[in-house]
Every structure is written in structure tokens, then in C-alpha cells.
């Protein structure tokens, strides 16, 4: 099909797909599917980043534990614990595999403790490195790795991969 230019919005009830067709065989491979919950957050000529900020899947961690890679990959963890809770992130290897991470992969992780009754602390595991800001804040008692309970109990952390098996972790909001 040739390039087509539209003067109005392009609409579909069933989403959009980008495909690749193999030159020799004509085999069609679906590269990406864009549905109703998908939103475009950043477009450049060299980097396309698509994210679903609605977080249709969340993970609940209500006691001190190591989060699974699947739980962290949801991008949204809730806690309603009455006791102080420490959530340790999975190793860089496990999280990298769950996200099919490569150098430069970024994941925003939201921790929602608004329904909790005590502080949630985030810790990193093997191949998880605290950013300089997170390490300084943690050592100085600034609380960059803690999420209070109640109405102010919402935090955003960014996980940035330096390789397929190692990440840097920092609080961004």
C-alpha cells in the first residue's frame, strides 16, 4: 500500500498494528499493537516510547517481601499494610528478563501507600544500583526511598537499565 495522508483524525474501533513483511517469504510479523489503553508519550525519529499510564494491572504487596519481576513490571504497586513494610526489588537479571530490557530501557514504578497505615521502604537487590541522589538521600535520612502512608503516600521511581541485567534506581516524584 502506498503512503496515505489524512486531513482529519484516523480512527479505529479495534486498534492499530505495525507490521513487517519478510522480503523473501512475504511472512507478516506484527511488531506492535496499539489498543484503546495505549497512549503515545514521546516520539522522535530515532526513539518511539509507548506507555500505558492507566496501569490496568497492579500488584499488592502488604508485608515485607521481595517483589517479583512480574509485580514490578506492572509499574504500579499498592500497599495497605498497618506495619512498616520493606519492598525489595528483584535482581537486575530477573527484572531485565521480565521486561526484555536492554541498555536504555526505562520503567516508571509507582508505589501507592495511600491506603496504608505505616511507611513503605524500597530496597534494591543484586545488580540494582541506587542513583547518587537516592543514595545520598537515604544516607542523610531524607526519605527518598520511603513512601509515607495516607494522602501523601504516592511515589514514582524510575528504573533505568545500563545493561540487560543491571539497573539504576532513583526516586523521581
Residue appearing with cell numbers 486498534: 15
Grid cell at residue 162: 545500563
**pLDDT band at residue 38 under the 50/70/90 scheme:** low
pLDDT, one tens digit per residue, over 50-72 is 444 567 789 999 999 999 999 99
Burial class for 88, CB neighbours closer than 10 Å (0-12, 13-18, 19+) = middle
Check whether 49 has a pLDDT greater than 50.
Answer: no
Check whether 133 has a pLDDT greater than 80.
Answer: no
Amino acid at each position: 500500500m502506498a503512503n496515505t495522508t489524512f486531513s482529519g483524525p484516523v480512527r479505529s474501533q479495534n486498534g492499530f498494528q505495525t507490521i513487517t513483511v519478510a522480503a523473501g517469504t512475504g511472512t507478516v510479523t506484527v511488531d506492535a499493537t496499539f489498543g484503546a489503553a495505549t497512549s503515545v508519550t514521546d516520539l522522535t525519529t530515532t526513539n518511539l516510547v509507548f506507555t500505558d499510564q492507566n496501569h490496568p494491572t497492579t500488584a499488592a504487596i502488604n508485608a515485607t517481601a521481595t517483589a517479583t519481576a512480574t509485580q514490578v513490571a506492572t509499574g504500579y504497586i499498592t500497599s495497605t499494610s498497618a506495619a512498616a513494610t520493606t519492598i525489595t526489588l528483584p535482581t537486575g537479571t530477573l527484572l531485565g528478563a521480565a521486561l526484555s530490557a536492554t541498555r536504555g530501557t526505562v520503567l516508571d514504578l509507582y508505589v501507592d501507600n495511600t491506603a496504608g497505615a505505616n511507611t513503605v521502604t524500597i530496597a534494591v537487590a543484586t545488580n540494582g544500583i541506587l542513583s547518587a541522589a537516592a543514595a545520598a538521600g537515604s544516607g542523610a535520612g531524607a526519605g527518598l526511598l520511603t513512601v509515607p502512608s495516607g494522602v501523601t503516600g504516592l511515589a514514582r521511581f524510575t528504573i533505568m537499565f545500563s545493561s540487560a541485567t543491571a539497573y539504576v534506581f532513583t526516586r523521581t516524584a
